[in-house]
Amino acid sequence: MSNKILNIADLQESASNSLPVSVRDFFNSGATNQVTLHDNYTAYGKYRLLPRVLKDVSKVNTSISLFGRDILFPLCASPAGLQVLAHPDGELATSRACAKTGVNMGVSSYTGNPVEQITEAGNEVGPINHVMQLYSMNDKAKQERIVRRAEAAGCKAIFLTADSPVLGVRWNEWRSGFKPPPGIGYPMYEKTSDEIQAQSHDDGFTSTNSDSHSWATEIPWLRSITKMEVWIKGVLTPEDVETAVEYGCDGVIISNHGGRQLDETPATIDALPACAKVARGRIRIHIDGGIRSGADIFKALALGAECCWVGRPVLWGLAHGGQQGVELMFKILYDDFKRCMQLTGCKSVSEIRPELLAIVNAHGPLARL
Ligand SMILES: Cc1cc2nc3c(=O)[nH]c(=O)nc-3n(C[C@H](O)[C@H](O)[C@H](O)COP(=O)(O)O)c2cc1C
Ligand SMILES: CC(C)CC(=O)C(=O)O
């Protein structure tokens, strides 16, 4: 592996150069006009850091506790499907890299490897917790089998992805006729390669997953079939945070699916403050979308997130160098986050507060939060 990979943009470039164009575009693109994809990154730029100086930062504790165990720092791997397109080891490599790093992993229901093998691969390397991502499905018996397999494999939570009753408008996938190459199945959906090849990617999603889902049909049912925590992935408004509290959910992930679903939704960092405000400690708030630096993680925590997740950086790490590439991605972000804590004068994650941020004001001085 090149030693010139110093940041996530370097990793993106290396990965993008090595992937077939249709896979590169499937990974990197967003929906429609790419507005939200772009906003997710750039919205972080409106905040500035206000360091406190002359602090002893010789010993910095970057860890947080998640699912009953300390993780190295507040960043985990978002569930992203089809990781075998980035590297033959796919999700197995991601699981090993997360375990080696000391962070947790989300397993997509569109994984190319079964959840049992993914958790086992990680557990062989070190302590790790997994969560199972789930879509609402038409075939409830099959959906239940995914939940039960995930629980038996040791997953700690279900991340019910709520932003995808249908797939977003993905012109790149439609133009390229994107679908996984023959030989790849969806073992959690119990779908063979032949079945996948017989349909377009979009039709495959629509015919399997449910656009008639609701809070009332999904949440009590999930609660009745599993003891795992139930989180909602894809929340962007305080109203939906409140509903998640009413339904007794354990957490929400403020997410717009990396800009891949409804375009022109707000950047997640812009949606976060109002969501964190209504949560008031009643429900856990995590975030993903556009996080590419230690400062981004710092800003998300200062604005009320407990933990961040990254999707594409995992895929770029995999494409760059399999397990080692994902480890490199986490190392870059860990080193960057730790330095950001030191340079802002924070000895522990609990010291990361809104007072350490200011907002850029085009018409005058920086505004304090
Ligand atoms: C190629 C790809 C596949 C994805 N697959 C899933 C999926 O199967 N389920 C899901 O809930 N989210 C999926 N996501 C969304 C991620 O979980 C996450 O929300 C998003 O990637 C975060 O944004 P980021 O890529 O800017 O970090 C996928 C994202 C990408 C890029
Ligand atoms: C395999 C896909 C349906 C996964 C997904 O959710 C996405 O592409 O955003």
What ligand 2 atom has the least distance to the C-alpha of 135?
A: 6
Distance CA(80)–CA(181), nearest Å, equals 17
What ligand 1 atom has the least distance to the C-alpha of 78?
A: 17
CB of 189 shorter than 6 A to ligand 2: no
Whether the complex's predicted ipTM surpasses the cut of 0.85: yes
Helix (H) or strand (E) segment spanning residue 76: strand 75-77
One digit per residue, pLDDT tens: the chain, 369 residues? 546 999 999 999 999 999 999 999 999 999 999 999 999 999 999 999 999 999 999 999 999 999 999 999 999 999 999 999 999 999 999 999 999 999 999 999 999 999 999 999 999 999 999 999 999 999 999 999 999 999 999 999 999 999 999 999 999 999 999 999 999 999 999 999 999 999 999 999 999 999 999 999 999 999 999 999 999 999 999 999 999 999 999 999 999 999 999 999 999 999 999 999 999 999 999 999 999 999 999 999 999 999 999 999 999 999 999 999 999 999 999 999 999 999 999 999 999 999 999 999 989 999 999
- Distance (angstroms) between ligand 2 centre and the Cα of 351 equals 36
Distance CA(312)–CA(322), nearest Å, equals 14
Tally of CB atoms within 10 A around 105: 28
CB of 82 shorter than 6 A to ligand 2: yes
Output the CATH code of domain 8-41+67-339. 3.20.20.70
pLDDT at residue number 362: 87
CB of 260 shorter than 6 A to ligand 2: yes
pLDDT at residue number 32: 98
For 78, half-sphere exposure in the C-beta direction (CA atoms, 13 angstrom radius) is: 25
DSSP state of 176: H
Shortest-distance ligand to the CA of residue 313: 1
What residue owns the CA closest to ligand 2's atom 2? 81
Return the domain boundaries, the chain: 8-41+67-339
Distance CA(32)–CA(169), nearest Å, equals 5
Distance CA(108)–CA(209), nearest Å, equals 14
240 is in an annotated binding site: no
The structure tokens listed for 46 are 């409106």
pLDDT at residue number 127: 96
- Distance (angstroms) between ligand 1 centre and the Cα of 257 equals 5
- Distance (angstroms) between ligand 1 centre and the Cα of 309 equals 10
**Three-class DSSP category at 28:** helix
Q: Count the residues in the chain.
A: 369
Helix (H) or strand (E) segment spanning residue 46: none
Distance CA(106)–CA(94), nearest Å, equals 10
For 296, half-sphere exposure in the C-beta direction (CA atoms, 13 angstrom radius) is: 26
312 is in an annotated binding site: yes
For 157, half-sphere exposure in the C-beta direction (CA atoms, 13 angstrom radius) is: 25
- Distance (angstroms) between ligand 1 centre and the Cα of 89 equals 18
Residue 104 · residue 128 · CB < 8 Å? yes
* Bridge partners of residue 106, in order along the sequence: 131
Shortest-distance ligand to the CA of residue 90: 1
Q: Active-site residue among 257, 286, 320, 363? A: 257
